[in-house]
Structure formats: C-alpha cells, structure tokens
Amino acid sequence: MKVFSNIFTKKNLSGLAVAFLAGLAIGGYLWGSNNHDLSLSDRPLAYSEQAKEAALGANPQDQINFDLYWEVWDKIKSNYVDTNKLSNQELFYGSLRGLAEATDDPYTIFMDPEETKEFADDLAGTFEGIGAEIGLRHDIPTVIAPLDGMPAEKAGLRSGDKIYAVDGEPTLGLSLNDIIKRIRGPKNTEVKLTIIRKDEKPRDISITRSIIVTKSVKTEMRKDGIYILQISNFNNDTQQLFNEAVSDILMKNPKGLVLDLRNNPGGYLETAVSLASEWVLEGPVVAEQFNNNRRNEYPARGQARLKDIPTVVLVNGGSASASEILAGALRDYKLAKIVGETTYGKGSVQSLSDLSGGGSLKITVAKWLTPAGDYINDKGLEPDVKVEMTMDDLDNDKDPQLDKALEILKIKNK
C-alpha cells in the first residue's frame, strides 16, 4: 500500500485490499465532472457528448442510456420512505461505491473524503480502532491479522477468524467498508464481534477500542547471535526504520537473521522492492502484468547488504501482498528458507488516485508475479518448511515457527 503515483509513490498500491480497522481502501470517481451540483434542479443531463463518447467507445454493444441513472435517482428521491434521511451526497457516494463494486473485485474501492482521511491515518500508523486488518475471503469478512500488542490481539482475535456479526448485527450482505465502519469507533468504547474460528461454534469477543500507534519494524539481537527483524506493515515509516535496522545488523554481524513477516498485510510495493534489494543483488524483484499484455519489471537496486547473512523468513495466513512479494523474491533467488504456513494470496496491484472533492479511487490495474513467474493470487506462497501454529501454542505463548527458524539457522552455522 508508495503506491500513489507509481507503485505506492502515489499511485500503485500493492496493499492488501485490507482495511485497517481504522480506515478503508480508497474510493472512486464516476464519469462526470465534480463541478456539477448534484441537486435535482441543476443536475447535468447525461453529461456532455464528449464525455459520453469517451465512456462508451465505438462498440455499439456498449451504448448505454445514462438518463437511466437519473431516472433511478428521481424515483428514489420521490418514493423512498425515509427520503428525508437520505442526502444527495449519500446517494451520489453510494452510486460511486456501486460503480467500483460492479468490477466484482474486492480491491477496487471507492472512498469518500472521510474514508480517504481514515486510510491516510492508517498509513501514517496512528488511528482509533481495535488494531486489526480484515479482508474478504469467499465474500466473508475475515481477520487477516491482529496487530501486535493491540486491543484486538489482547482480546483474543486471531488471523483467520470469520466475522459474522458486529454488535449483534449480521455482516451478511454488507460491504467491507460498511463492516469496518461498524467496527471502528472512538477510544474507550466497546465493540462486540461474533466470530467463527475454523470448525468451532460461534463465539463473541468484546474489544475496547483505543488509539492505535504502531511502528512497522521491530528488532531484537538474541544472545545466541541470531537477529530477529519483524516487519508488521509496509507503510510510511517502514523504509526509514528498516534502514536503521540494517545499519544495526551490519554493526552487530549476527550469525543468522529471522525475517518475521507473519500477519503482515502488505502496503507500498515500492517499499517491498527496496527491502528485497538488501538481499537481491540483481534481477527483477517483482513483475507486473497489465491488461494490454504490457509487462513491467522492478529490478533490484544493487544494495544487497544482507545477502551473505543466512536468512529464514516466517510467514502465515496473515502475510499478504507486499510481504508476499518480499518473501517470494527471497525464495525464488534461494536467498532464504520460508518457514510457517501458506500465505494469504494477494497477487494484484492497485492504483490509488486522489480525486477532486477529497475522495479517492483504488483500482486493480495489474497482476504481480514473483521473479520466477509465480502468480500467487488466491493460492498464496507455500513455505519450504511447513509449521502450523495451533491454538494451544498461542494460548501457552509457544512459537514453533520461530523455533524451527532458529533450528535451521543453527544448523547452517555448524
């Protein structure tokens, strides 16, 4: 997720179609001009001929009567039972959301100005909520990852939990944005999630919201000479914190390195490429495939300061998008062993565009592939060494995945 102008430099978001429970993905633009006033007396008549031609193209099968939009608008405004509760702005934004949802792609999303600001706060790492990310899995809202040490994790929410109700209201039929709005809220207030975990019966988990402030990179130099580098997101602070970590690693010269990408939902593609370049000396880190058969490769940047340090990467079902790009590159170049569980499987790239009026639009513009050409969407990355984390492990503060990583590194050092 800097994918805001070219690969999260302001335009391409490799981020998970995930939503921090403080903000959502980004929103959309219809076909018209934001200079139009949307009151009924002033509305544009199907917009200009030039705009219609640009939207419809030359194919006769694409001919659409845009007056139908206003016909529906009129009937809702005239006949809807609670029309006094429905503003023109809400109607208009709702139509834009529907336009984005018509792509049938969970990562193409319209966000109004308020949601856009919330999303920006998420990327900055400061927001009010429960501290978790959710996405859609088979149209069911699913916890991708609870953030380390945040209220969601402390309350017992786990990666893979399916959310069936929020404060007793079913999530069935709701958009991801609507679900997240219900879960978000001011600090010191409580939200109750009804979740189903694997084959267990539904359970309620009550979570007290808080101010969520996160640093995306954490480090630890163990006494046995192994360095732990944990990256929880690829957001605004990741590059600087990672650079500081690399300097610390080079100074301490560890025997091995554990790169922990578990429960990392992704973020800026550009940052993932930059981080991978600390292991990959040359060659593509990731490739994008666009709808016109155009292919764009992102080459390593020639740093590779960590390439000679034995590395193990930890992943699980909460590892998605940019974290899968990083893990996939290290796997394909045989620069690290991948340990843990199959990753989430987010293999598309989004373009993020700011719109007049304060909204924004996130559109899936490309598929991404690992250096070896692996398209991981929906299937995820399979670890080299599969190690599951059970509920018993979590309840008793055991970490068999980390234990396996340490074992592999110690064998390498013998």
**Lowest mean per-residue pLDDT among 210-214, 276-280, 406-410:** 210-214
Contacts of residue 148, defined as CB under 8 A and 6 or more positions apart, other chains included, come to 214, 218, 230, 232, 263
Confidence band, pLDDT 50/70/90 cuts, at residue 2: very low
Whether pLDDT at 41 is above 60: no
For 283, the token pair is 């060659």
Amino acid symbol at 401: Q
Average per-residue pLDDT in the chain? 83
pLDDT tier, 270 (very low <50, low <70, confident <90, very high otherwise)? very high
Name the DSSP class of 414.
-
**pLDDT range class, residue 182, cuts 50, 70, 90:** very high
Task: Tell the CATH topology of 217-412.
Answer: 2-enoyl-CoA Hydratase; Chain A, domain 1 (3.90.226)
How far, in Å, CA of 100 to CA of 252, rounded? 49
Joined together, the tokens standing for residue 397 give 């503060």
How far is it, in rounded angstroms, from Cα 103 to Cα 49?
25
Asked if 131 and 191 count as a contact pair (C-beta separation under 8 A), the reply is no
Is a pLDDT exceeding 90 seen at residue 103? yes
Structure confidence at residue 38 (pLDDT): 27
Q: Is the pLDDT of residue 10 over 50?
A: no
Name the nearest CA neighbour of 349 among 293, 235, 233, 268. 268
Q: Which of 11-15, 129-133, 241-245 has the lowest mean pLDDT?
A: 11-15
CATH topology identical between 126-213 and 217-412? no
Burial 102-112 (b: 16+ CB within 10 A, else e): eeeebbbbbbb
Greater confidence (161 vs 123) lies with: 161
Q: Indicate if the pLDDT at residue 11 is higher than 50.
A: no
Return the domain boundaries, the chain: 126-213, 217-412
Q: Give the Cα separation of 58 and 72 in Å (integer).
A: 26
pLDDT confidence of residue 8 = 33
Predicted structure pTM score: 0.71
Distance, CA of 363 to CA of 361 (rounded, Å): 6
Pick the CATH number of 126-213 from 2.30.42.10, 2.40.37.10, 3.30.460.80, 2.40.50.220: 2.30.42.10
pLDDT single digits (tens) 116-149: 888 887 777 677 889 888 877 778 899 988 887 8
Task: Give the pLDDT confidence of 389-403 residue by residue, as tens digits.
Answer: 887 887 677 899 999
Give pLDDT tens digits for 18-28: 333 333 222 21
Question: Annotated catalytic sites, by residue?
Answer: 321, 332, 346
Gap between the Cα atoms of 285 and 277, Å rounded: 8
